[in-house]
Homo-oligomer: A and B are copies of this chain.
Amino acid sequence: MRITILGNNSALPAFGRHPTAQTVTVYGEILLLDCGEGTQLQMQRYGIKWKNVHHIFISHLHGDHYFGLPGLINSMSLLGRIAPLHLYGPAGLKPILDAILAAANTVLCYELHFHPLPVAPSLLVDTPSFRVDCFPVEHGIACYGFLIAMKTRGRKILPVQCSEYGILPEHFEELKLGHDFTAADGTVIKNEWVTADGPSPKKYAYCTDTLFTESFLPSIQGADMIYHESTYLEADAEKAGARFHSTAIQAAKLAKLANAKQLLLGHFSSKYKDLEAFREEAATYFPDVIVSVEGTVYDL
């Protein structure tokens, strides 16, 4: 599971930092989380292939989280996309996109399936590779977080050992499922002799924009990594609260309560040029803090 940050700033772009967008790559499939203005350009810059994107998730309808979406949707059509695209967002997003497409007389050359986000925590996507759940956060307008869980693909094949026992690749899928192998002469090869434990499934929780609140803690409990907005430093905690945003310390407190392994900070106010203080403040409450940097890849 690989997180790529395409934009980590809050509403106003500043210091070369873009509005919110990031991708989560799971077994080659790319999930796009939010789509601030310029996302299609950031995707080009950082080598994110739109052909591998089949699911886009929009947290809420503040512009810095979706003003890049109409352009991306359009470009995919101009580039001849065929595969359907699934878009998950607040219900109000659909009439806006419909109006934009109608004004341009545009008929997309692929199917765009819109899925309005439900009010309660819900499963959105469930595939053999991953599942995505959404949960409401608290931001003044309808706003959602997402939990992406990468599914394990079973046990890991040990090619050398398989070769020694004469097991051909056509039997690997059975081995991955944990089954023993029975040779032509009736000899039973124990599964654990030719496989190892597969990679452990990973969970990534995406929480932006939101007040500090424990209301969605059950949805993110035990996540390997939590991305939590930290628009402000603690000196501006009052402003953060008034604007339905969080501080770095609040993000760290939530990560600790959730027993997360890592905390990824983002959505920084344009008032801060240097972001080191975000790491320092959060680190007083939580050990493994990362200040997100655009174009950087974080592997789980």
Contacts and interface: CB of A to CB of B under 8 A. Distances in A.
Contacts of A67: 37, 67, 70-71
Given A11-B75, A44-B13, A99-B95, A104 B38 contact: no
Contact of A37 (B13, B40, B140, B141): B40
A123 interface: no
A102 to B, nearest CB: 8
Q: Range of interface residues on chain A?
A: 35 or more
Interface string A90-113: 101101100110011100000000
Number of copies: 2
A242 interface: no
A104 B62 contact: yes
Given A99-B99, A103-B61, A140-B105, A11 B92 contact: no
A68 B41 CA distance: 13
A191 interface: no
Contact of A40 (B13, B44, B74, B75): B13
A231 to B, nearest CB: 12
A79 interface: yes
Contacts of A63: 70-71, 74, 100, 104
Contact of A104 (B13, B71, B141): B141
Contacts of A104: 61-63, 141
Contacts of A75: 11-13
A235 interface: no
A78 interface: yes
A99 B103 CA distance: 13
Interface in A23-73: 37-38, 40-41, 44, 61-64, 67-68, 70-71
A61 B95 CA distance: 16
Contacts of A11: 74-75, 78
A177 to B, nearest CB: 44
Contacts of A41: 13, 18, 37-38
Interface string A193-234: 000000000000000000000000000000000000000000
A104 B60 CA distance: 8
Interface of A: 11-14, 18-19, 37-38, 40-41, 44, 61-64, 67-68, 70-71, 74-75, 78-79, 90, 92-93, 95-96, 99-100, 103-105, 140-141
22 contacts: A11-B78, A13-B40, A13-B41, A13-B44, A37-B67, A37-B68, A61-B100, A61-B103, A63-B70, A63-B71, A63-B100, A64-B71, A64-B74, A67-B70, A67-B71, A90-B103, A92-B103, A93-B103, A95-B99, A96-B96, A96-B100, A103-B141
